[in-house]
Chains A and B, each alone.
Chain A
Amino acid sequence: MSLLSSLFQHSFSHGVHPEGYKEATVDLPIQRVPFVSRYLMPLGQHIGVPARPVVKVGQQLRRGQMIAEPGGFMSTALHSPVTGKVVDIGPHRHQDGSFKLAIEIEADPYATQRMEPQPPKDWEAMPMAEFVSEVQRAGIVGMGGAAFPAHVKYSIPDTQHIDEVLVNGAECEPYLTNDHRLMMERPEALIRGTEILMRKLGARRATIGVEDNKPDAIALLRGLLGGTAIEVASLPMKYPQGAEKMLIKAVYDREVPAGQLPRDLGILVNNVGTVVAIADWFDRGIPLIERVVTVSGPGAAYPANLIVPLGTPVREVLRFCGGLKEETREVVMGGPMMGAPTASLDVPVLKGTSGILAFTEAETRTGTEYPCIRCGRCLEACPYFLNPSRFARLAKARLFEEAKGFHLMDCVECGSCTFACPSNIPIVQLIRTAKNNLRSRKP
């Protein structure tokens, strides 16, 4: 039976198989990082319009209090991660290297930091519009890394209907184990959140897609879910399984056409962290003020899975984990495939920060770049069926407009092409350069 089912197991085409490197943290229970003295909450932690501050400098804050309201529909609220006071609202260094407006909060060292228990919200009786605005007010965004405001996904036009809720527990990025640990430690919240979404969106079924390198999580969830409308799909390991469109292909064997969204196919995809955040808000009244972060990599002294209050400086998180080893050369925010190295350790942990990875010389060495030998491995790796080598060539020649004509903008920058390239060409970086150039063009 297992042989038969493995024969019929679906997957998406192309993709790559990076080493997992998850052993360091996979069995470590999630720990809570102690409160530190200073927090930085940038107003733009999500894709879209930055939030608008509703507090003043000097104002006392309670943990979980809203400090910034949504700046528009494509925006979410921010909440204080800590009881304390606002000391500054001004430009501070963001993870992307630029200076962005942020609310600086000084924690009250004598506060208990306890949150008053809230009665569960009557989400079932809520009209859909109110449910959507509740999610927006809770500041919930996609926790997989992109930080796309969650409520936007739940705003389904009248002409469409969601049939399937797909919970993304693939966690295909090497090193990261935050989603895995969340599934292991908070399966009830995950199931509860999934049920809330199913009921509110009117979906018939739900599937939790998990890669088969997490057999314990699959077994645990299957044990809890027997007889319900939620099932667990065990997926063969492959990168980038966690990309929305790839996960849909792997689980349902359906393709989302370029330029369309999963909801056009009646599917809603949410990361496990997002679903748990939904359950926390509607059952316990806890807005998004902390998240699970994996600290790992050969440069990390003590790898760990941590609950980190948002806004905690990366330096403080690393200090809690025993600091960095001497030979560390690079600290990456997020996974090694899609994450970006940070230029400063003073930047805060944001809603989309899934990992803090410390790498040494051996992992960061890029190797000598050789000319493209037209081997086509990047084409075989690209899950979106694009031609990465052509993008790289055009970007080097600064022919960005021409690259756009070859669907440059459909690239999600998953990094499979760079991973596959035997000539060490920094393909994704060239693609990002080209996209950045095109976006900055003045009309």
Chain B
Amino acid sequence: MISFLIAIGIMIGVTFFFGVLLAMAYRLLRVEEDPRVSATEGMLPGTNCGACGQPGCAGFAQAVVNGEIQPSKCSVASPDVVDEIAQFLGVDAGEAEKRVARLHCAGGKAQAHQIAEYHGFESCRAASVVSGGGKGCSWGCLGLADCKVACTFDAIAMNANGLPAVDADKCTACGDCVEACPKDLFELLPVNQRLLVQCKSALSGEAATALCSVACDACGRCAADAVPGLIEMRDNLPRIDYQSGLTATRAVTARCPTGAIRWIE
């Protein structure tokens, strides 16, 4: 009976001792954390996608509170949430330009020729290391959905033509698909940029169109029709200077013989 009480007594003593120790440590060693950081983090979407370039949402919240980055740099949060964070912290929300991932290839099953069959692990990158994956055009989309698997936001779906279709509303421009694509076909572009070259073939003329009916054959008509300075032909492809501030029009695409340069509705 007595040993039973001694045991309880010791346990109470030990508990009390460590309790006091912890309480003292809490007082003496505590780190003052800005309460605004956790509050800001609570307002963020919490996807930890890394699109802002910070190590997750907590890192972003810390950076916003420190004034190193503007709230609008979070491409996942809605404009309302961004405003809310800006108001809460009393900072400028910053200019937010919505960007989306655009695919530089339109050569699906119906347009691009297949010269060999690939059997193996169902992944674009796995196919690309086996003689390029069997697609005639070595620059084109292999259609094995590495981007769809990489997308955290379910914004990419494979269409019936075997090409990934990006849902502009769901896309947050996090850049995961850009990294996943072994052919480097994705580019993050402002959503209001309607002019897009959907081809990456470095071939020209019939050599290009023999492999894919919607390939750019490097005729240069789009560059000639556009405002001078907007489109430059380089390495057999039209390069659109989106930063130039020049107005792109639908008319540029009118004389394209293959439809490689498109106006996105």
Chain A interface (Cβ < 8 Å from any Cβ of B)? 91, 93, 95-99, 340-344, 364, 366, 396, 398, 426, 429-430, 432-433, 436-437, 440-442
Contacts and interface: CB of A to CB of B under 8 A. Distances in A.
B138 A340 contact: no
A87 to B, nearest CB: 14
A55 to B, nearest CB: 21
19 contacts: A91-B203, A97-B130, A97-B132, A97-B134, A98-B132, A343-B116, A343-B133, A344-B115, A366-B119, A398-B149, A426-B121, A429-B121, A430-B121, A432-B129, A433-B129, A436-B129, A440-B184, A441-B179, A442-B179
Interface string B101-141: 00000000000000110011101011011111110001000
A429 B126 contact: yes
Interface of B: 115-116, 119-121, 123, 125-126, 128-134, 138, 149-150, 179, 182, 184, 202-203
B131 A96 contact: yes
A95 B121 contact: no
Contact of B126 (A97, A344, A433, A442): A433
Nearest to B201: A99
Given A429-B126, A430-B126, A340 B119 contact: no
Nearest to A342: B131
A426 B202 contact: no
A437 B125 contact: yes
Contacts of A99: 138, 202-203
Nearest to B123: A433
A443 B157 CA distance: 29
A343 B129 contact: no
Given A341-B130, A433-B126, A440-B182, A97 B121 contact: no
Contacts of B202: 91, 99
B203 A340 contact: no
Given A91-B202, A91-B203, A433-B125, A97 B120 contact: no
Contact of B138 (A93, A398, A426, A432): A93
Contacts, number: 66
A143 B186 CA distance: 38
A433 B121 contact: yes
B41 to A, nearest CB: 26
A49 B156 CA distance: 37
A95 B131 contact: yes
Contacts of A97: 128, 130-134, 138
B185 to A, nearest CB: 13
A344 B129 contact: no
A340 B134 CA distance: 12
B131 A341 contact: yes
A436 B128 contact: yes
B263 to A, nearest CB: 29
Given A93-B138, A99-B202, A99-B203, A343 B132 contact: yes
Contacts of A93: 138
Contacts of B149: 398
Contacts of B119: 364, 366
Nearest to A95: B131
B132 A96 contact: yes
Contacts of A440: 182, 184
Nearest to A347: B131
Given A98-B132, A343-B133, A432-B126, 6 more contacts: A91-B203, A93-B138, A99-B202, A366-B119, A429-B129, A436-B125
Contacts of A364: 119
B188 to A, nearest CB: 13
Contacts of A366: 119-120
Contacts of A429: 120-121, 126, 129-130
Contacts of B128: 97, 436
A433 B149 CA distance: 15
- The 4 A-B pairs of least Cβ separation, nearest first, read A97-B132, A97-B131, A343-B116, A343-B131
A364 B128 CA distance: 18
A206 B179 CA distance: 48
Contacts of B130: 97, 340-341, 429
Given A91-B203, A343-B115, A98 B121 contact: no
Contacts of B133: 97, 343
B121 A436 contact: no
A201 B14 CA distance: 76
Contacts of B184: 440
A340 B129 CA distance: 9
Contacts of A342: 116, 131
Contacts of A340: 130-131
B120 A344 contact: no
B139 to A, nearest CB: 8
A340 B128 CA distance: 12
Nearest to A99: B138
A433 B130 CA distance: 10
A115 to B, nearest CB: 34
Contacts of B126: 426, 429-430, 432-433
A432 B149 CA distance: 19
A436 B124 CA distance: 11
A432 B123 CA distance: 12
